[in-house]
Structure 1
Amino acid sequence: MPDRPIRLYGDPVLSTVSDPIDRIDDGVRGLVADLIDSVKVEGRAGVAACQIGVGLRAFSYNVDGVVGYLINPEIIELDGEKTEIDEGCLSVPGLWFPTPRHPYAKARGTDLDGNEVIVEGTGTLAQALQHETDHLDGIVYLKRLLPEHRRDAMRAVRESEWF
């Protein structure tokens, strides 16, 4: 399966809450394969299904050489004071802004066999878990920015070549 084109900010699929995956079938297996292939592209830490145009609750991650995925993920624990960390998004290409995130996150989901999977971590993995779960809830990271950064971000988006 090839990596799929990434939907850009402004596409309605990115602001829509993704539907739960009720059963594992060939379509879901293909989606997970596409998510894995898409996240393996250099410089990518995560890809949510909505970013490739599919409104289902699944994402892949690629952090520190570990590639994985979660189906129907939910954040079950966040720890530590939120701190601003530079964050970007494939759907907002070329733009990075300080985004408040917890330094630790734990997510629960399932794999293609229906087994429960727990993924937890700090740093980039914690950031990716929060970022990708937000995508599935119809939230692009720009909505998480503090007001002074959000104004700059929205201006940069409007002035970008891709918008």
Structure 2
Amino acid sequence: MRHGTIPGAHGRVRPLSLLGDSALHEPCREVTGFGPEVAALVEDLFATMYAAQGVGLAANQIGVPLRVFVYDCPDDDDVRHLGHVVNPRLVETDGVVIRGPEGCLSLPGLEAGTARYDHAVIEGLTVTGEPVTVHGTGFFARCLQHEYDHVEGRVYADHLTGWRKRRLTRQITRASWHRASGPA
């Protein structure tokens, strides 16, 4: 990203992968080159995330199986966190486990109470290959864990059990986007 520009301003909005798309269920590949293609991918991720009114988006959610995600997410104190991580590694989760409502742009219109730690630390790289460490608390920690799950080939529904899993499964089968995209 060019310094001083608005994230996503030069990106293009891409179609979102929906639950059932194989790209969402396979671990993503490491990024090995840090040229203009990675910067353009980050711009497209921001543009797509903003168009869909999300707070985070991983590359496999737009059909690109690379370990990259972006975020523009508040924490519980309403402090805005804006950035991206290439080749993220979840290096720490701790604190209290909180079950809170969680949604996903790949499961539009649905959410379920999902247990997440209230503190998370992600290490990775910027689009230029510089090391970056991102600390999140509260809702932002949830966002970081959610996006990290995506690059690992998981969605929040994979964490659910019991009646929460059954209820979300019923909602998925009734969702118009699910019927249009085929079986999950």
**TM-score (norm. length: structure 1):** 0.95
1:154–1:4 CA distance, 2 compared to 1 (3 A): same
Does residue 99 (structure 1) correspond to residue 114 (structure 2)? The answer is yes
Q: Which moved more, 1:107-116 or 1:21-30?
A: 21-30
Aligned position for 1:113? 128
The one-letter code of the counterpart of 2:135 is E
Alpha-carbon deviations, 1:78-134, whole Å to 9, x = none? 012322110000000101100010011110010022111011111221011000000
Shift of 1:42: 6.3
The one-letter code of the counterpart of 2:46 is I
Does residue 89 (structure 1) correspond to residue 104 (structure 2)? The answer is yes
Does residue 50 (structure 1) correspond to residue 60 (structure 2)? The answer is yes
Q: Which ranges in structure 2 are unaligned for 5 or more consecutive residues?
A: 1-10, 75-79, 179-184
Q: Distance in 1 between matches of 2:72 and 2:60?
A: 17
Matched-pair contact (CA < 8 Å) for 1:99–1:145: yes
Q: Which moved more, 1:58-67 or 1:82-91?
A: 58-67
Matched-pair contact (CA < 8 Å) for 1:48–1:58: yes
Aligned position for 1:60? 70
Q: Which ranges in structure 1 are unaligned for 5 or more consecutive residues?
A: none
1:42–1:158 CA distance, 2 compared to 1 (3 A): closer
Number of residue-to-residue matches in the alignment: 163
Superposed, which structure 2 residues align to 1:19-58 within 5 Å?
A: 19-41=29-51, 43-58=53-68
- Residue of structure 2 aligned with 1:155, choices 170, 178, 184: 170
Q: Which moved more, 1:23-32 or 1:70-79?
A: 23-32
Q: Distance in 1 between matches of 2:16 and 2:163?
A: 28
Q: Which runs of 4+ in 1 moved over 6 A?
A: none
Aligned position for 1:77? 92
Alpha-carbon deviations, 1:33-69, whole Å to 9, x = none? 1112222336311000000110000000011343210
Look at both structures and tell me which one has the larger radius of gyration over its CA atoms.
2
**TM-score (norm. length: structure 2):** 0.84
Aligned position for 1:18? 28
